[in-house]
Amino acid sequence: MGRTATPAGAASRLERVDAAELVALLAGRRFAVLTGAGISTDSGIPDYRGPDSPPSNPVTLRQFTSDPSFRRRYWARNHIGWRYMDEARPNAGHHALAQLERGGVVTGVITQNVDRLHTKAGSRTVVNLHGTYAQVVCLSCGSGMSRAALAQKLEELNPGFAERIRALGDRTLAPDADAAVADTGSFRYLDCPSCGGMLKPDIVYFGENVPKNRVEQAYSLVDHAEALLVAGSSLMVFSGYRFVRHAAARGIPIAIVNRGRTRGDSLAAVKIDSGCSETLTLLANEFSSPDAAAVACS
């Protein structure tokens, strides 16, 4: 397994060595990419487990469906949080992956994130494993609406709520578009306009299964790739880790770029303890040369 960047005095030298190992591993190979919350931290969206991340517990399906008070608090926080996520912009790491896809090097992205930043950056083949913040679905009849449309309805029920909270400057955001909001007691939420059923963001919560068709699409990307690159995921959640195990079973090389240890480190041919933006930009620059383009198209 490739070395990781360690103590401060040697950090830059080791990172250069690791970057060379990463380039050598991926050169001449078309690779799929699995991303986690760590790729979006440079866009202002914190992750759950990063060293600088605020304490945050992901929402569970049982919490959401079993407790009306929890749902009221959740929708109040989400009424604020989804706006910040919608305003977030792709960073250099997202743009680098889109550039690598345009060059025929990246075959597609499997993302555990719900922030849509890969799509905003221009990536075309994206499997949103856990859904996105931008849609809402009824758990009874299956009808859906955009999060923006629901926001209009919630604003009618809670006039001025978003403006009051935003004026307080409370902008703590979680990777699932949840936001820290202290006063949620008077917030009114909405049931499905079609059947009266329970509305839920079209996001896979903890305790909920990823839809089968998304899992199959993700496996297919790995099956048609010659390597797998993990960027910004600790792989602690099995929904992403399974694709690393699948790549290992297929015998294709695995590279991991992540700050801190991951569940897949023992399966990686190269592991770099580094941020995603700088490392992915390096790859994009390296593989955008004329020689690299010729290899990708061969």
Provide the annotated active-site residues.
130
Q: Is 260 a known ligand-binding residue?
A: yes
> 297 labelled as ligand-binding?
no
Six token digits for residue 294: 């010729």
Q: Return d(Cα 131, Cα 128) in angstroms, integer.
A: 5
- Does the annotation list 66 as a binding residue? no
Is position 175 annotated in a ligand binding site?
A: no
Q: Do the annotations mark residue 47 as ligand-binding?
A: yes
Annotated binding residue 41:
yes
Does 176 belong to an annotated binding site?
no
71 a known binding residue?
A: no
> Binding site annotation covers 39?
yes
CA distance 36 to 90: 14
Is position 219 annotated in a ligand binding site? no
53 assigned binding-site residue:
yes
Query: 247-283 burial string, b = 16+ CB within 10 Å, else e?
Result: bbeeebbbbbbbbeebbbbebbbbbbbbbbbebbbbb
Was 50 annotated as part of a binding site?
Answer: yes
* 58 annotated ligand binder: no
* Cα–Cα nearest to 170, from 290, 80, 244: 80
Ligand-binding annotation for 138, yes or no, is yes
Q: Which of 5, 154, 11, 129 is nearest to 78 (CA)?
A: 154
Half-sphere exposure of 191 (CA within 13 A, CB side): 9
**Annotated binding-site members for NAD(+):** 36-56, 112-115, 232-234, 258-260, 276
Annotated binding site for Zn(2+): 138, 141, 192, 195
Give the residue ranges of the annotated binding site: 36-56, 112-115, 138, 141, 192, 195, 232-234, 258-260, 276
